[in-house]
Amino acid sequence: MRQKRAKAYKKQMLVYNHTFKFRQPYQVLVDDQLVLETNKSSFDLLKGLKRTLQAEVKPMITQCCVQKLYESKNQGAIAQAKMYERRRCNHYKEPKEPSECIRSVVDINGRNLHRYVVATQDIEIRRILRRVPGVPLIYMNRSVMVMEPLSSNSQQVSQQVENEKLVKGLNDPKYAGTPNNTEDASVDPKSPDANQLKRKIKGPKEPNPLSIKKPRVNKAQLPSEDVFNLTDKKKGGGSMGHRIFVTTLHRPMNIRIKFTQEYREE
């Protein structure tokens, strides 16, 4: 598959994902004609669907399409159809034509309720399903698998959804932030709890305490220190002096004595 076509298919599937809520693995509904066509040309249908949709897929086939394959007596196509998941269509007792069966499964009140990707060779069923928004259509063009571009109905729904997103906050009171639709509407504005619900006004913050200059201490308030020097004779002619710091605090009987030892030579 060429790069240009692959980009176009990827963009289409993004629209289906965002607008119509498609999810992987995609449910691909195949018909009897597509199974016969791929079996005739030895085309790997599962790999082709994965390559076209660029994601994991889950191929499905209805009971009416399987009944049509049994009538063709093509054993290869029948064996291929048995590998796919069987989609119940409730037409077991009275089988319908594959086109009518697929239409009844996909088109539910004008919506693709189960989010099917339809892979069919029937031109008539593709023409009918183009009227239903959100139905990706795939078919075989000779030996190439092709996905149709977005139909006009799908484009209209997608554009409508995008426009609603743009004006959602303006027209919908639920998203407009009005007091009638917010959680804080039940709180009385005069109550003390109302002040806590108000937004905090942003302003200058306090500086980092590590970057603040330390305050200067008044030396007059510091306790006085008295120093006494005592000397003792030391062997070898030297003298050892003991310097005693006596710090007197304002409170009585609270004296701290610091001893420091110094060695002095004569």
Contacts of 17 (CB under 8 A, 6+ apart): 23
Confidence of residue 210 (pLDDT cuts 50, 70, 90): confident
Range of lowest pLDDT (71-85, 116-130, 217-231): 217-231
For the cut 90, the answer to whether the pLDDT of residue 142 exceeds it is: no
For the stretch 12-70, pLDDT in tens is 999 999 999 999 999 999 999 999 999 999 999 999 999 999 999 999 999 999 999 99
Strand partners, 62: 87
- Closest alpha carbon to 183 in 171, 192, 193, 170: 193
Confidence of residue 167 (pLDDT cuts 50, 70, 90): confident
Taken in order 48, 159, 115, 151, is the CA torsion positive or negative? Answer: negative
Contacts of 56 (CB under 8 A, 6+ apart): 24, 25, 26, 50
Where in the chain does DSSP place strands (E)? 26-30, 57-62, 85-87, 107-108, 111-112, 116-119, 137-141, 144-147, 224-233, 239-248, 255-264
Amino acid (1-letter code) at residue 199: R
Cβ atoms of residues 135 and 106 within 8 Å: yes
Cβ atoms of residues 137 and 112 within 8 Å: no
Mean per-residue pLDDT of the chain: 79
Strand partners, 116: 27
Angle between helices 32-40 and 45-53 (to 10 degrees): 110
Domains of the chain: 1-155 (3.40.50.1010)
C-alpha–C-alpha distance, residues 71 and 203, integer Å: 81
255-264: strand order across its sheet = 224-233, 239-248, 255-264
Residue 48 pLDDT: 95
For range 185-212, the mean pLDDT: 66
For the cut 80, the answer to whether the pLDDT of residue 200 exceeds it is: no
Higher pLDDT, 215 or 42: 42
C-alpha–C-alpha distance, residues 252 and 71, integer Å: 118
Residue positions counted in the chain? 266
Confidence of residue 187 (pLDDT cuts 50, 70, 90): low
